[in-house]
Structure 1
Amino acid sequence: MAVSHRRQMLRRGTAQMHNALDAMIGAFSSHRAYEAYVLGTARFRLPLESTIKNCAPFELLSGWQPSLIGDAIRADMSALGLPTDEPLRTKAHKVAVPQPETIDDWLGVFYVLEGSSLGAKLLVRRLDALNINHTNGGAHLATLAKDSSNWSAFLALLDTIPDVDEARMIHWANATFSFAHQAFETVMEDSLADH
């Protein structure tokens, strides 16, 4: 199956921000580093998923729904002994959560969130070395990695929506990567990671 024009454009337009985020997250080689990753994920995903639940224009998405993993993140935090209210007390919440308005904006946001299912497959393999699985702290990654059909459905949707402002879509994808970067940066500043 050929890669769509819009997907190629988003990949190119977000490559720098995506690479910067990947470099910041690094490889979690210890439990402490993985705990930092989970906290960063919570600081990124939980406020953004709240915005999605309250504001996303689901009526324009042809029945497609984004993958929401907030409950699994909270379960992982609890399993790892991390305080589940921690993300609400951090500097990350002083950073403005992206507030998409148009369908173009939302497509950019969803590109980043749904695309994380691809990276989750690699991260789940890293968890094996730490003896972490879906029952003891890796539920959110297992949820994302187990089925890429929602990503495929999103890509199909991406190609069917007419008259997309592609520059705006790329801007909002980068804004989402930037928000993620800031959320993970607060974890690194708190010296919770080991890289």
Structure 2
Amino acid sequence: MNTTLQTPAETGPEIGAGSGSEVGRAKRLKAATTQAHDQLDKRIMAGEPFAALANYGRFLAVQHAFHRDIDALYDDPAIAALVPDLAERRRFAQIGQDLADLSLAPAEQTEAPRFAGGEIDVPTALGWLYVAEGSNLGAAFLFKMARALGLDENHGARHLAGHPDGRAQHWRSFTGALDEVALDEAEEMRVIEGANAAFRRVHGLVEQQYG
């Protein structure tokens, strides 16, 4: 089962590399983050985030903190030059609206966002965005569970709603762009490290809310 903060471990459509590689970067990232993905998946679902509105509120708090960390990436011109429709992929404001719909305030954060101010390392940022974008594809199942709580794309579950073009197409657009980015070996490693760091960050946020 895939949660909305994870990349799709088994069912996510991915495409091959466009830079002559036999295996695309998205597929390599999937292989390199499988363990972190599986651990996070089990931990989130153990908290039963859709068992009740109170549980879902904790889930929203996790989402809000994670997307707060990466919100600055959607304004970065270097990343925007690589990822199509980057600004449209932003979900931080929607999560804030979902919290407000349920009369909830964002959890207090004492630390600055992971990406805030200063120069952003693009390969690291791409790893974090891979996790965020994969979560949007994996949110289809969770959106159905949110509906069982009386939530939808207009109230409480805005950030879980699919893209007008379809989740799969939106994901293919991202992975296609990701596969085409020219990186050296050291930069490739920073993409993987970034993705794993994103998974660790979410795991820590889940422990704060459900631990």
TM interval, shorter chain, is 0.7 to 0.9
What is the aligned partner in structure 1 of residue 19 from structure 2? none
| Aligned residues of 2:126 and 2:191 also touching (Cα < 8 A) | yes
Q: 1:80–1:145: structure 2 CA closer, same or farther, 3 Å change rule?
A: farther
Measured against aligned partners, the alpha-carbon deviations of 1:117-167 in whole angstroms (never above 9, x if no partner) come to: 121101011112212112221111115697323321111111211234322
Residue 139 (structure 1) aligned with residue 158 (structure 2): yes
Distance 1:19 1:113 in 2: 16
Unaligned runs of 5+ in 1: 190-195
8 Å CA contact 1:134, 1:142 repeated in 2: yes
* In 2, Cα distance between equivalents of 1:2 and 1:179: 24
Q: How many residues align?
A: 183
TM-score, normalised by the number of residues in structure 1: 0.81
Contact 2:43 2:203 in 1 (8 A): yes
Q: Which residue in the other structure is 1:159 paired with? A: 179
User: What code does the residue aligned with 1:7 have?
Assistant: A
Would you say 1:130 and 2:149 are equivalent positions?
Answer: yes
Asked if 1:120 corresponds to 2:120, the answer is: no
CA distance in 1, matches of 2:112, 2:38: 21
Contact persistence 1:76–1:140 (CA under 8 A): yes
Partner residue of 1:97?
114
Which ranges in structure 2 are unaligned for 5 or more consecutive residues? 1-12, 17-22
CA RMSD of aligned residues (A): 2.5
Is 2:42 the partner of 1:23?
yes
Structure 1 ranges of 4+ moved more than 6 A: none
Could you tell me the TM-score, scaled by structure 2's length?
A: 0.75
Equivalent in the alignment of 2:3: none
State the one-letter code of the partner of 2:173: A
Report the more deviating stretch, 99-108 or 74-83.
99-108
SS at match of 1:57: helix
Shift of 1:179: 1.4
Counterpart of 1:14, as a letter, is T
Distance 2:14 2:209 in 1: 38
Compared with structure 1, are the counterparts of its residues 77 and 112 closer, same or farther at alpha carbon in structure 2 (3 Å cutoff)?
Answer: same
| Alignment pair present for 1:58 and 2:79 | yes
1:127–1:138: 8 Å Cα contact kept in structure 2? yes
Shifted more, 116-125 versus 60-69: the winner is 60-69
Q: Which has the higher helix share?
A: 1
> What is the percentage of aligned positions where both structures have the same residue?
25
Which residue of the other structure, out of 8, 12, 16, is the alignment partner of 2:31? 12
